[in-house]
Structure 1
Amino acid sequence: MPSRAPACPDPAGAAPRGPGPKQRPGERPGDRRRRRLAVLAGGLLVALVATGGTWLVGHSGLSALEAQTLDWRFRLRGPIPPAPQIAVVTLDERSLGAAGGWPPRRGALAEAVERLHAAGAKAILLDLLLEQPETTLPEGMKAQLSALRRLLPDGSPGAAALDRLTATSEGDQRLRRAIAAAGDVVLPFALSFDRSGRSAAPGGALRDRAVARLSGLSGDQPAALSLHPGRLTLPEPSLLAAAAGLGHALVLLSGDGRPRRQLAALGIDGEFYLSAALEAVRLFEGGGPAEIDFGRGILLDGRTIPTDRQLGVLVNHTGADYPAWSFADLLAGKVPDAAFAGRLVVVGASAAVAGRGFATPYAANEPGHLLQAAIIDDALTGRFLKRGPLVVGLDLVLALAGGLLALAAGLALRPTLALPAVLLLLLAGFGAAYLLLVEERLWLGVLVPSAAVLAGGVWGATVQALAELARRRRVERERANLSRYFSPSLVETLAGRPDGPIARQQDAAVLFVDLVGFTARAEALPPERSLAELRRFHGLVEEAVFAEDGTLDKFLGDGALATFGVPDPRDDDAAHALAAARRIAEAAAAWRAEDPEAPAVAVGVHHGRLFLGDVGGRRRFEFTVIGDTVNVASRLEGLSRKVGAVILASDACVARARAAGPAGTAATEGFEALAPQPLRGRAEPVALWAWGRVQGAAAGATAST
């Protein structure tokens, strides 16, 4: 029989030991490198989503979706108090009678301007296109004659005849006088573009109204700042001459048809014109010249209107309920002068009357003059939104930070915790974007940071899930291996245990069993018969050990080593060891009953202190037990032949079993006490107990109950 307490391959497939980087519990060779690669790949993914998403939002239809998130924030914020300097007069449906229908009669408009001036209005924006003179001709004929007049040179007989035919009415003359007398009226002009690329010359009347000076621009002027419209729609010449200010009424619509960004000023053939809203602010602030500084924005008497490089501003829709009065009530004298005194008054038509409105965060069909009021409000209060290169850069930084945090959460936390962590990051990002909009008027993006957070979180959770799946598969393989050596009750404890060396002392019971004379017998048997008998022996040992919650440490050729109480000791370990020994002996007896030539078994059992741990070198190490207790059990198994017993147990083992209660008493039933016997390596004889003794064997041994 082989020497006792030999080593066998670790059934759990443990990893080689030796110098190397510190590993996490349960980590296998290569896991750390794979984890680093996964983190690097996740970081690259987050960076790609953050940078690529930032570019896409700025150069694709995703910007419309980002703008929708801005509208959500506006609605969450709710309306804000309006600037107190603004008042509104609306030509609504009930005002059509007083205004003489649509378009309103010039005399009615003149009366409105006169009343506002008399009430002390500081500036008036008449947000109506007054291109054609008012005549008694039908509208269709009037438009045709006006188009014909533009084709004729000034001073020609035909032009003079058309001028007389379309001469201004008394209403036009009255409106001209009212505008001139007020000295603070702003009229809008419109421009449009066609595909021919032709340009409508602004003419001297428009050029005279170019109030913005250009500064702060080095190099060539951006092409977007010098437009060439196909058509200009200017106020009627006499009204244009009388107006104190002229501003463009171009409304820019984003991809979803909403007016979020507007041009504070635009260039036409090298001359710059403010928007009608900012022209009204200029007059309201004193009428000084405007200066365009491409490094800062538009300067109006010390007030800075921040713009982008194309002179655009982002409208901070207030949703405010401006003090508004009906055009009919104004003409009827029902509005007190205090409603307009010292204010900038915006006069326009409702969407139902004008036939067109604009979708804003707070209204599905907001009239154009209320959009002008919102721009005026932003200019007077300095509440324009900010989204320049620095804010876009902040978007990128937040996207990277959020994505990496989500990646870390996905990699470090269990899925049940990683998902709430990612959701918290998303909510934190939206909350930060909302607070910065409310407090600092910053338009931070939420799409790209959210996409980066989701990408990082999903990647981290996927890597974590794959690692967990690999770990479970590894544990299943370990469990399958362990189930061949350990009792089922211990397989779950040992499977998937943290890697690394185990070394400790503990009490346990040790059982050695051997087939008596099998080596000599095997020489006379065919190999197939020898292997079959050996397998049957291993099977009965395995069944007996596992039935008593033992650990099958290893097979030793025609023998086996089993432990009870490894790795977790219990009070009844000795009882289980003796019960397992009896099961083995009884199974062997049944085998010999079937085949009288079958080999007998010899079993030795001892309980005591032993060393439990991993032994071996760098490439191969094993989990086993060593120490004096193991040696005594091995020698008891060898001594059993001399005393003529099937099972030979130490007195320490039997005493320990009986102390465990009824189960131990049952396990020790039938054992006979023997006279103490000397054992190699022991200075004093060892008290022994035998079970299944052969009569007359081992003379000198004393039997007792």
Structure 2
Amino acid sequence: MTSALPRWVAALALLSGLVWAALLCQQHLAGTASVIDRFETVLLDLRITLAGERPAPENITIVAIDDRTVSEVGTYPLDRKTLAELVTGIREAGAAAIAIDILLSGESTETDDAALAATLESLPAVIAAAARVADAQQTASAVPVVREALAPDPRFAETATVGLVNIVTDDGGTPRHIPLLFLSGSGLQPSFGLKALELASGRTPSLTEEGVRIGDRVQPLDLGWHLALNYYGPAETVDTISAARLLDGDPVDLHGRLAVLGVTATAVGDRFATPFDPVMPGVEIQATGIANLLDGSALLRTGAIRLTDAAAALTITLLGLAAIAFLPLAPAVFFYIALLAGWLALTMILFGQGQWLNAALPFAASLPPVIALLLSRQVFERLRSQKLARASAALSRFQSPKLAGRVAEDPTFLAVPKEQDAAMLFVDLSGYTGLSEELGPVRTRDFLKEFHTIVVDVVSQYDGVVLDFMGDGAMLGFGIPDASAEDPANAAGCCFELERRVSQWIADAGMAGRISRVRVGAHVGEVVLSRLGHDSQQQIAATGDCVNVAARLLEVAKDHDASVVLSSDLMRATSAMTELDYSPPRQATVAIRGRQQELTVGLWRSGEIPPGFVAPGGTG
């Protein structure tokens, strides 16, 4: 079934849907946080989980201040003398550089501070600073603005570089981005990971419009030079050793590696949920970001990819709305679901290549307008169905319900005439002309209405249709619109039942003196079904020799003083369909006006109707 939507409704839905999708796309392109991000992170985690774990680069090792370390040292936080020993051990193990994810602020002894400062001078090092940015849940839309910074002791900042360790989490607390730049009152400040990259690679990275250049390679970044994290696996997927091993003097090989020193001990330090692990130490988050920069495996979420997301959202919205508006409903819904499924499949395939397409945006952009249009279409189609039902009911008052229903289902029904077998029956009342003059128009109408009601009731009982009412007569058809082997027997049964019912009604109404009898004639043969009339006003008609013969049988009934006249063709066809053994009380071969060939007929007067005659499909 095609859509019942008015064109203005479809146009309004398309326009409204595109405006809605455009607003969401604008937010996405600007990197503005929205409720869509919550659904996107769920779909992102699903893609990460399905992609599975992968090896971390070998040139980075986490030196963990873990439970064993805290237990052996006996205090937490570790004093700066112990930290100096750790840095010394890392240097002696051959590390190329060290990144200390510990805030070296607060009070300490002069001796310990001096020892730590001296060891930091012996090895390329970056130490952590933290900042309070303008937005606590800063999104990847712009360079974070530092409102207040917690810097390390100036003594350490003189011997090592400093980088900010702030990360960007989603609403669920999972780190998704690491900003590589921060804007403070003194200008742009590098992140902890960016400075660690410089130390580990031995090259000074430079920022381009959409990424960071590392030697000959450019790592694309998200808006505001945010690095989109691509996790390797659960905690300790990045190579991790206990700091206690270095303090105990165990042999450790860190040759050429970047050592990231941080806290992993239980109940101390920061913890985050990740797609692989409900609890991952903050130092491993930082190490993951640095490793992504080193091996170039960070998720690709550039401005061009965001434009792809927006284009997909607008296209799916437009195509989904157009399908719902103009296609049959079932294919339209299937097409729309296929569009969404195709987009999900594409995001999964490209995720395997490191591209982070937004899986949720096309859903959020298209679902509300598509569902709204779908509900609107159902309302309009229900209204149309009700209107068609009313029209069909009204049409049934002027056409047989069977024919009216067929026309309602198929407006092209009988646009081309067709030939088929049918049984035709004519009925009229003898003496009606004088009666109508006596009764006058109003009472005549009431009289005919009662007569026509009997005709409709009986013909419906025998699965026939009324093709036309002609004053005191009617033309009935059996096998119209669809032929059946039972049509002749139904027509014969209808003849006898009509004679019985109408005769009884005449007697009960006290009209026996004015209406002498009811006459019924029936014949079977080939008819032509077609639409007759003008293009703007038509009726379904049956024509052909069979119709003419059936009509002329009423004259035969009058000439032979009979109430029911059946052609021999109809009687033979009826006998083949019923086990009743009956023969007409009289039989005659008669000439049919307008027809050269004579016809043998069976004749019955009112009292000669066979009792208990039941045609297939009838009730007797």
TM range (shorter): 0.7 to 0.9
Contact 2:117–2:156 (Cα < 8 Å) also in 1: yes
Deviations 1:623-673 (CA, angstroms, capped at 9, x unpaired): 12112221222222133212211123333333333343425x55xx33521
Match of 2:76 among 84, 99, 102: 102
Q: Which residue of structure 2 aligns with residue 652 of structure 1?
A: 569
Q: Which residue of structure 2 aligns with residue 681 of structure 1?
A: 594
In the TM superposition, 1:43-82 aligns within 5 A as 43-56=14-27, 58-69=31-42, 70-82=44-56
Q: Which residue of structure 2 aligns with residue 292 of structure 1?
A: 207
Deviations 1:456-511 (CA, angstroms, capped at 9, x unpaired): 26634752575267337625753675488648xx5797374311140201111111
Contact 1:409–1:457 (Cα < 8 Å) also in 2: no
**How far apart, CA to CA, are the structure 1 residues paired with 2:267 and 2:571?**
108
In the TM superposition, 1:194-593 aligns within 5 A as 227=145, 229=146, 231-243=148-160, 245-269=161-185, 271-286=187-202, 288-294=203-209, 296-320=210-234, 321-334=237-250, 336-338=251-253, 340-350=254-264, 352=266, 354-404=268-318, 406-407=320-321, 412=327, 425-453=339-367, 455-456=369-370, 459-460=373-374, 463=377, 466-467=380-381, 470-471=384-385, 474-475=388-389, 478=392, 481-482=395-396, 486=400, 490=402, 494=406, 496-502=408-414, 503-593=417-507
After superposition, the CA RMSD in angstroms is: 3.3
Deviations 1:254-301 (CA, angstroms, capped at 9, x unpaired): 444443222112343464332112211111111x3332222x322233
Contact 1:607–1:652 (Cα < 8 Å) also in 2: yes
| Secondary structure of residue in 2 paired with 1:534 | helix
**How far apart, CA to CA, are the structure 2 residues paired with 1:481 and 1:109?**
96
Distance 1:521 1:683, change over 3 A: same
Distance 1:574 1:236, change over 3 A: closer
Q: What is the CA distance between 1:81 and its match in structure 2?
A: 1.8
In the TM superposition, 1:64-143 aligns within 5 A as 64-69=37-42, 70-99=44-73, 101-132=75-106, 134-135=108-109
**How far apart, CA to CA, are the structure 2 residues paired with 1:289 and 1:578?**
105
Contact 1:403–1:457 (Cα < 8 Å) also in 2: no
Q: Which residue of structure 2 aligns with residue 189 of structure 1?
A: 129
Query: Which letter does structure 2 place at the counterpart of 1:597?
Result: G
Query: Which letter does structure 1 place at the counterpart of 2:574?
Result: A
**How far apart, CA to CA, are the structure 2 residues paired with 1:289 and 1:273?**
14
Contact 2:95–2:256 (Cα < 8 Å) also in 1: yes
- Which structure has more relative contact order (CA 8 Å, sep 6+)? It is 1
| Secondary structure of residue in 2 paired with 1:127 | strand
| Secondary structure of residue in 1 paired with 2:466 | strand
**How far apart, CA to CA, are the structure 1 residues paired with 2:63 and 2:358?**
35
Deviations 1:118-167 (CA, angstroms, capped at 9, x unpaired): 111111111112134622xxxxxxxxxxxxxxxxxxxxxxxxxxxxxxxx
Q: Please, which runs of 5 or more residues in structure 2 have no aligned partner?
A: 136-140, 609-620
**How far apart, CA to CA, are the structure 2 residues paired with 1:484 and 1:587?**
23
Query: Which letter does structure 2 place at the counterpart of 1:176?
Result: A
| Secondary structure of residue in 1 paired with 2:489 | helix
Query: Which letter does structure 2 place at the counterpart of 1:81?
Result: P
Give the TM-score taking structure 1 as reference length.
0.76
Contact 1:91–1:353 (Cα < 8 Å) also in 2: no
| Secondary structure of residue in 2 paired with 1:280 | helix
Q: Which residue of structure 1 aligns with residue 535 of structure 2?
A: 618
Deviations 1:218-251 (CA, angstroms, capped at 9, x unpaired): xxxxx96595x554433333322222x3322233
Distance 1:236 1:589, change over 3 A: closer
Using the TM superposition, name which of 374-383 and 455-464 deviates more.
455-464
Query: Which letter does structure 2 place at the counterpart of 1:641?
Result: K
Contact 1:186–1:276 (Cα < 8 Å) also in 2: yes
**How far apart, CA to CA, are the structure 2 residues paired with 1:97 and 1:186?**
27
Q: Which residue of structure 2 aligns with residue 690 of structure 1?
A: 603
Contact 1:479–1:491 (Cα < 8 Å) also in 2: no
Q: Which residue of structure 2 aligns with residue 214 of structure 1?
A: none
**How far apart, CA to CA, are the structure 1 residues paired with 2:534 and 2:471?**
23
Q: What is the CA distance between 1:692 and its match in structure 2?
A: 0.9
Contact 1:387–1:444 (Cα < 8 Å) also in 2: no
Q: Which residue of structure 2 aligns with residue 160 of structure 1?
A: none
Deviations 1:86-121 (CA, angstroms, capped at 9, x unpaired): 111111233125446223122211111111111111
Using the TM superposition, name which of 72-81 and 421-430 deviates more.
421-430
**How far apart, CA to CA, are the structure 2 residues paired with 1:574 and 1:251?**
89
Structure possessing the higher radius of gyration over alpha carbons: 1
Q: What is the CA distance between 1:51 and its match in structure 2?
A: 1.9
Distance 1:444 1:363, change over 3 A: same
Contact 2:96–2:258 (Cα < 8 Å) also in 1: yes
**How far apart, CA to CA, are the structure 1 residues paired with 2:573 and 2:223?**
92
Query: Which letter does structure 2 place at the counterpart of 1:62?
Result: V
Q: What is the CA distance between 1:63 and its match in structure 2?
A: 4.6
Report the number of matched residues.
592
Q: What is the CA distance between 1:587 and its match in structure 2?
A: 2.0
Deviations 1:376-396 (CA, angstroms, capped at 9, x unpaired): 111012122222332222223
**How far apart, CA to CA, are the structure 2 residues paired with 1:404 and 1:232?**
48
**How far apart, CA to CA, are the structure 2 residues paired with 1:445 and 1:226?**
26
Contact 1:384–1:441 (Cα < 8 Å) also in 2: no
**How far apart, CA to CA, are the structure 1 residues paired with 2:122 and 2:143?**
34
Contact 1:125–1:280 (Cα < 8 Å) also in 2: yes
Distance 1:644 1:389, change over 3 A: same
Distance 1:598 1:374, change over 3 A: farther
Query: Which letter does structure 1 place at the counterpart of 2:19?
Result: L
Contact 2:403–2:481 (Cα < 8 Å) also in 1: no
Percent identity between the aligned chains?
Answer: 26
Using the TM superposition, name which of 456-465 and 641-650 deviates more.
456-465
